[in-house]
């Protein structure tokens, strides 16, 4: 096929939104859907939007050509398709809801009946990514591994598989929505109970019993691909919390921090191969990996053949507009035909180079869910997230903690109910602060690493913040020297925090001292290219340097 830019054989495109805000599917899909509406209309396509949630930007009157505020069920969508007769359906920007509906519409023969082409990721690709057995087969075809597992339809089968794989084990009930009922069993008693519950939860009485990679390092890559097979990795993400905590509930960091280039490239190549093998024709995908910290053994955990929660993070973290580009790729453009809006001179066919560190911290609201335990597991519990940018992990982390609006001023001492080692080993929303408490009580980095499985690199950086705090405290009632104040600001301490630690009247006093010393925030550009090219988008972060 010769280069020919966008498709002219399609005129009207239907877009499915993600419906109500639920845990795991929130405003990020409003963002991606809105971006897609804009991008498609910019190209002259007529956009038909369906979303049941009116409290979204994408359903504002001027976003799409036709907007349907209707229940997201196949019957209603079929009626809309009958009435609107779109040429194509783009399902990859409306979260899991849009993918599931596309599967249902295909299986019901609706799309075929009205001649609607699915663009972005088709039925087969969606099924290969979603169905655990198909996914395993597809991944293994590329020479990669998924954690060992087996499907069981009764308790005896399940016990057989458990005997083969050893504990701990992950139990995933089949065909439940969003991984509901997923659990971890550490011993045979727990396993019997959880497997039994899982079998009952599954409408087809099926559970997948999976080898646990709890404690392995967890990574995610955001990949984009065009119809010619060109693929680029937009962002690499490393989870602070090891496997066992849902990615949506993990503190995550971009780019990856503790992989050598050899391992990173192996992961990058694997991600691109999986995307090809799954058959995502165009757009973005998110692929998750686990890595054994003892020997580097790598396993593929899952893949989303669509723009995901992490894509929104990756877009903000790099300046690369994933949803917008995904929409343009879906209508036939190739990556080299789309300009990079930020540099204007270079194409979107590149991998962003970033020159800062990004930290995402999830936000929880356990008070509102009195029945859920305040522990983090493999099903997602967070209700939002904050992202911050700094020149170092320490700075970004402190900024993010302040942004949570939980009254934290940074990595600091707070009142905690649990015994320290329990709080460190059992992942909960306040694990960071238990680590702080651990440092205060004389736990070493290695001790904390052993019980939390958090990488020592992260822990060491946390310890550096704690040590800096101790240094600041020495100047209680005294003037803080230039070098100490500068370091504190570089580490992401706020003026108020420094005032409290040194017994100053208020933050103004610290600010005045800073001004006297000439320590002021600078603003650096998020430009996708680490300064290599001139940038035109006004997207800045503050830092002290």
Contacting residues toward other proteins, per CB under 8 A: 3, 228-230, 232, 236, 255-262, 264-265, 268-269, 293-296, 334-336, 345-347, 349-357, 391-393, 455-457, 460, 464, 524, 529-534, 545
CA dist., res. 391 & res. 408, Å (int): 21
Q: Which is nearer to other proteins, 114 or 533 (CB)?
A: 533
Residue with Cβ nearer other proteins (262 or 505): 262
Exposed/middle/buried for 384, CB within 10 Å: 0-12, 13-18, 19+? middle
Residue with tokens 């790729």: 329
- Structure-token match 């090891």, residue found: 242
Nearer to other proteins among residue 111 and residue 267 (C-beta): 267
Instruction: State in angstroms the smallest separation of the CB of 225 from other proteins.
Output: 11
Cβ closest to other proteins, residue 77 vs residue 358: 358
Residue 108: how many other CB atoms lie within 10 Å: 14
Report the nearest approach of other proteins to the CB of residue 336 (Å).
6
Q: What is the DSSP string of 394-421?
A: HHHHHHHHHHTSSS--SS------S-HH
Kindly state the smallest distance separating residue 497's Cβ from other proteins, in Å: 21
- Give the three-state DSSP class for 422: helix
| Dihedral sign for Cα atoms in the order 109, 110, 112, 113 | positive
Contacts of 512 (CB under 8 A, 6+ apart): none
Separation between Cα atoms, residue 168 and residue 160, nearest integer Å: 14
Minimal distance, residue 153 CB to other proteins, in Å: 39
Residue placing its CB nearer to other proteins in the complex, 349 or 484: 349
CB of 522 to other proteins, least distance (A): 8
At 98, is the secondary structure helix, strand, or coil? Answer: helix
Q: Within 10 Å of residue 387's Cβ, how many Cβ atoms?
A: 18
Nearest-5° Cα angle at 170, 166 to 174: 125
Does residue 232 sit in helix, strand or coil? Answer: strand
For the CB of residue 353, give the shortest distance to other proteins in the complex, in Å.
4
User: How far, in Å, CA of 29 to CA of 36, rounded?
Assistant: 10
Residue 490 is encoded by which pair of tokens?
Answer: 């570089």
CB of 34 to other proteins, least distance (A): 28
In the three-class reduction of DSSP (H, G, I as helix; E, B as strand; rest coil), residue 287 is classed as strand
**Least distance from other proteins to the Cβ atom of residue 355, Å:** 5
Residue 265 CB, nearest approach to other proteins (Å): 6
Q: What are phi and psi of 272, to 5 degrees?
A: -70, -40
Q: Encoding tokens for residue 58?
A: 């994408």
Q: How far is the CB of 268 from other proteins (least distance, A)?
A: 6
d(CA 239, CA 397): 13
Nearest-approach distance from CB 514 to other proteins, in angstroms: 18
Residues 309 and 503: beta-carbon distance below 8 Å? no
201 or 462: CB nearest other proteins: 462
Q: Please, are residues 125 and 174 in contact by the beta-carbon 8 Å criterion?
A: no
Q: Tokens for 376?
A: 């983090």
For the CB of residue 348, give the shortest distance to other proteins in the complex, in Å: 9
Taking phi over 0 as left and psi of -120 to 50 as alpha, with beta for the rest, 287 belongs to: beta
Q: Which is nearer to other proteins, 16 or 454 (CB)?
A: 454
Nearer to other proteins, 262 or 407 (CB): 262
Pick between residue 229 and residue 503 the one whose CB is nearest to other proteins: 229
- Pick between residue 28 and residue 527 the one whose CB is nearest to other proteins: 527
55 vs 483 by CB, closer to other proteins: 483
Q: Is 415 exposed, middle or buried (0-12, 13-18, 19+ CB in 10 A)?
A: exposed
């Amino acid at each position: 096929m010769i280069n020919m830019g966008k498709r002219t054989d399609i005129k009207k495109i239907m877009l499915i939104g993600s419906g109500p805000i639920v845990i795991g599917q929130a405003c990020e899909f409003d963002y991606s859907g809105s971006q897609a509406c804009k991008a498609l209309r910019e190209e002259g396509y007529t956009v038909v939007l369906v979303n049941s949630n009116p409290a979204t930007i994408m359903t504002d009157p001027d976003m799409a050509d036709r907007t349907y505020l209707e229940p997201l069920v196949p019957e209603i969508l079929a009626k809309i398709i009958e009435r609107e007769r779109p040429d194509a359906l783009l399902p990859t920007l409306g979260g899991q809801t849009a993918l599931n509906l596309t599967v249902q519409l295909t299986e019901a023969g609706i799309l075929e009946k009205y001649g609607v082409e699915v663009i972005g990721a088709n039925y087969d690709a969606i099924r290969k990514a979603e169905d655990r057995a198909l996914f395993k087969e597809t991944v293994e075809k590329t020479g990669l591994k998924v954690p060992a597992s087996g499907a069981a339809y009764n308790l005896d089968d399940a016990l057989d598989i458990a005997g083969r794989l050893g504990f701990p084990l992950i139990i995933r009930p089949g065909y439940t929505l969003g991984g509901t009922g997923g659990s971890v069993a550490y011993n045979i008693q727990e396993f019997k109970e959880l497997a039994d519950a899982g079998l009952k939860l599954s409408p087809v009485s099926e559970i997948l019993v999976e080898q646990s990679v709890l404690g392995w390092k967890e990574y995610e890559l955001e990949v984009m691909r065009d119809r010619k097979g060109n693929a680029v990795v937009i962002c690499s993400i490393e989870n602070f919390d090891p496997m066992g905590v849902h990615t949506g509930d993990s503190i995550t960091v971009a780019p990856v921090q503790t992989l050598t280039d050899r391992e990173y490239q192996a992961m990058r190549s694997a991600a691109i191969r999986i995307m090809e093998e799954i058959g995502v024709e165009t757009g973005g995908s998110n692929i998750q990996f686990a890595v054994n910290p003892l020997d580097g053994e790598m396993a593929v955990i899952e893949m989303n053949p669509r723009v995901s929660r992490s894509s929104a993070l990756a877009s903000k973290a790099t300046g690369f507009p994933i949803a917008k580009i995904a929409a343009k790729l879906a209508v036939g453009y190739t990556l080299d035909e789309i300009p990079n809006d930020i540099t204007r001179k270079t194409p979107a066919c590149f991998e962003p180079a970033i020159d800062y560190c990004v930290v995402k911290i999830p936000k929880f609201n356990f008070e509102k869910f009195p029945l859920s335990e305040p522990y983090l597991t493999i099903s997602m519990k967070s209700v939002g997230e904050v992202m911050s940018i700094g020149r170092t992990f320490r700075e970004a982390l402190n900024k993010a903690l302040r942004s949570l609006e939980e009254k934290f001023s940074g990595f600091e001492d707070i009142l905690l109910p649990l015994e320290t080692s329990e709080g460190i080993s059992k992942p909960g929303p306040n694990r960071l602060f238990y680590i702080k408490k651990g440092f205060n009580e004389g736990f070493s980095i290695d001790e904390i690493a052993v019980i939390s499985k958090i990488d020592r690199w992260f822990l060491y950086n946390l310890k550096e913040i704690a040590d800096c705090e101790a240094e600041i405290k020495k100047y209680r009632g005294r003037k803080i020297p230039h070098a100490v104040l500068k370091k504190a600001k570089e580490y992401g301490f706020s003026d108020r925090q420094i005032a409290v630690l040194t017994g100053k009247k208020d933050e103004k006093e610290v600010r005045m001292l800073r001004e006297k010393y000439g320590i002021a925030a600078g603003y650096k550009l998020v430009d996708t290219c680490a300064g290599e090219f001139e940038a035109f988008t006004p997207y800045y972060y503050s830092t002290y340097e």
